[in-house]
Amino acid sequence: MGMTLDEILPDLRRQSVDVRHAETGLWAASMLREHISAGQLAPGAKLSEEPLCEVLGVSRNTLREAFATLAQEHIVTRIPNRGVFVTRPTADDIREIYRVRRFLEPAALTWSTDAKTDTLHAAIARARAARTAGSVPGMASANQDFHAGVVALTKSDRLGAQMTQVLAEMRLVFYSMVADPLFHAPYIDDNADILSTFESGERAEAATLMVDYLRRAETQLLAAHARG
Amino acid sequence: MGMTLDEILPDLRRQSVDVRHAETGLWAASMLREHISAGQLAPGAKLSEEPLCEVLGVSRNTLREAFATLAQEHIVTRIPNRGVFVTRPTADDIREIYRVRRFLEPAALTWSTDAKTDTLHAAIARARAARTAGSVPGMASANQDFHAGVVALTKSDRLGAQMTQVLAEMRLVFYSMVADPLFHAPYIDDNADILSTFESGERAEAATLMVDYLRRAETQLLAAHARG
DNA sequence: GTTCTAGCAATTGTTCAACAATCTGACTGA
DNA sequence: TCAGTCAGATTGTTGAACAATTGCTAGAAC
């Protein structure tokens, strides 16, 4: 973590100057969001204003607009007069994340009017492929796609956005601790079970399975988090 | 709508200068949020930067940070190079609001571990009192308290925040049209039914009643919105 | 009279430079 | 060893400046 921002973020600078006379703040926010989600900016890392302005090629005021956006998404934590840091999730954060998921995902399975499960099947297939290939990031990504897809069944932009946000925080949880590389592996079949139960029309049962799955995952993550 | 900001917002100026060397942007945001929620800034109203800076006693940069916050809450709508306006909810917005509520509220009734219903009873009592007193704002406010209280059963800050946000948008919906003064009156008894069913332990039935209630309310609001 | 266009004024988007407030860390003196 | 204090760095906020965009208006063309 002793690397400078220039070393970590080589290609962050805005290429063309005329990217449009509006939304530079949102552009900067999405840039940072991307790099944080990809793990290039680890939890706890300090985002100093001046170096970041330099790297991004925006002014301090614009950068602060970006910080305001990311802080509201809980991706970044602002400590007054101290600075902005990539959020390092606490045990309470993990509990809150799963609290949200235990309402959102079962609700989607229970009351969604949509039942197009193509993307869900695709996500599971991708997860299985990643498992046989031994790709941990692949499994993690496919797993997130599955659960994002479940909430997408609601057809609600806002619930989808909230889920996206929560899943981004999940990535921070994984980055902030040494998680078991095989964490996702056993859950792939759980997802498949949930999906087939849902497709058979037993929605209440699918929701129950989902709650159960989420409880187990939470417990396991909290244990790993406690270990360090 | 031809009034100037100074006429509408007489007491918005920051009183003491030393309110603390941090969070001025959040302070400005909450100031605007309050006045919008209270209806003193009607949907569609333009929030020009320069006059507002004058009235609030903050700089344009700080005000823009506040705008970024409010825009993310959908309280305010930003049109590039045109300005910031108090959101005027569309029919689609209403549908999205109720889509969110139809997942959040039944989910809270179904899977919340908490069952403390004091605040819910209190809200219903307040609604009834407002009804006999003929106070439309009183009924509206008590009704919102009830439904916010339902989601509060989840004990999740984020779901609570999302509900708060959605209810703020509901206020904008009412402000942006001539709603039937008796809109809330018949729903008070629905709320009471839902609560007693929930307390009897029939959670699934309570959730069903809630979904039904929300569908009826949505339909009625959409009709009113279509009329003008 | 209508439609199109050029150009001007007003407003937003963004940057820059400055200063105030606060934190950090190191140095001091018991 | 341990408080106190003092400079240096960083954040919070401001005001002014300039660039880009929009909307309006006054004519020009038909």
The CATH number of whichever domain residue A20 belongs to comes to 1.10.10.10
Query: Number of C-alpha atoms within 13 angstroms, CB side, residue A182?
Result: 2
- Statement to judge: residues B107 and B81 lie in one domain: no
- Statement to judge: residues A111 and A77 lie in one domain: no
Residue A212 token pair: 């159960």
- Statement to judge: residues A61 and A155 lie in one domain: no
- Statement to judge: residues B72 and B97 lie in one domain: no
| Number of domains chain B contains | 2
- Statement to judge: residues A95 and A180 lie in one domain: yes
A63-94 pLDDT, tens per residue?
A: 999 999 999 999 999 999 999 999 999 999 99
Domain boundary among A63, A86, A109: A86
Angle (CA) A203 A207 A210, round 5°? 140
- Statement to judge: residues B95 and B199 lie in one domain: yes
- Statement to judge: residues A103 and A76 lie in one domain: no
Which candidate, B135, B115, B116, B119, places its Cα nearest to that of B127?
B135
B16-62 pLDDT, tens per residue?
A: 444 556 689 999 999 999 999 999 999 999 999 999 999 999 999 99
- Statement to judge: residues A95 and A75 lie in one domain: no
Task: Report which DSSP code applies to B64.
Answer: H
Query: Strand A83-86 vs strand A76-79: parallel, antiparallel, or unpaired?
Result: antiparallel
- Statement to judge: residues B105 and B214 lie in one domain: yes
Does the pLDDT value for residue B7 go beyond 50? no
Q: What is the CA radius of gyration of chain A?
A: 19
- Statement to judge: residues B33 and B65 lie in one domain: yes
- Statement to judge: residues A82 and A145 lie in one domain: no
Containing A106, the helix (H) or strand (E) segment is helix A91-111
Residues 77-136 in B having a C-beta less than 7 A from any atom of strand D are 80-82
- Statement to judge: residues A156 and A59 lie in one domain: no
Domain boundary among B45, B62, B86: B86
From chain B, pick out residues whose CB is under 8 angstroms from the CB of A23.
Answer: 80
Which candidate, B117, B105, B87, places its Cα nearest to that of B200?
B117
B54 CB inside 7 Å of strand D = no
Which candidate, A187, A183, A192, places its Cα nearest to that of A224?
A183
Domain boundary among B67, B86, B105: B86
Indicate yes or no: CB of A103 within 8 angstroms of CB of B99. Answer: no
What is residue B85's predicted lDDT score, i.e. its pLDDT? 97
Q: Which amino acid is it at A54?
A: E
Task: Compute φ and ψ for B183, nearest 5 degrees.
Answer: -50, -50
B168-207 pLDDT, tens per residue?
A: 999 999 999 887 888 999 999 999 999 999 999 999 999 9
The CATH number of whichever domain residue B131 belongs to comes to 1.20.120.530
CA-to-CA dists, residue B199 to B145, B188, B206, angstroms: 18, 17, 9
Q: Which domain holds residue B63?
A: 5-86
A13 and chain B: CB distance < 8 Å anywhere? Answer: no
Which residues does A4 contact at the CB level (< 8 Å), separation at least 6? A51
Q: Which amino acid is it at A114?
A: D
